Amino acid sequence: MHTKLVILDRDGTINQDSDDYVKSADEWIALPGALEAIARLNHAGWRVVVASNQSGLGRGLFDVAALNAMHTKMHKLLAAAGGRIDAVFYCPHSPEETCNCRKPLPGLFEQIGERYGMDLKGVHTVGDSLRDLQAGAAVGCVTHLVHTGKGEKVLGQPLPVDFPKGTMAHTDLSEFAEWLLAMSDAAAKTKAGGVA
The answer for residues whose C-beta is within 8 angstroms of residue 178's C-beta and 6 or more apart is none
Whether 170 and 141 have beta carbons less than 8 Å apart is answered as no
| Catalytic residue IDs | 9, 11
How many Cα neighbours within 13 Å face the side chain of 156? 2
Do 149 and 129 touch, CB atoms closer than 8 A? yes
Beta sheet of 47-53, edge-to-edge order:
87-91, 47-53, 5-8, 124-127, 142-146, 168-170
- Distance (Å, whole) CA 94 – CA 150: 19
Decide if 150 contacts 17 (C-beta within 8 A).
yes
In angstroms, the CA 144 to CA 8 distance is: 10
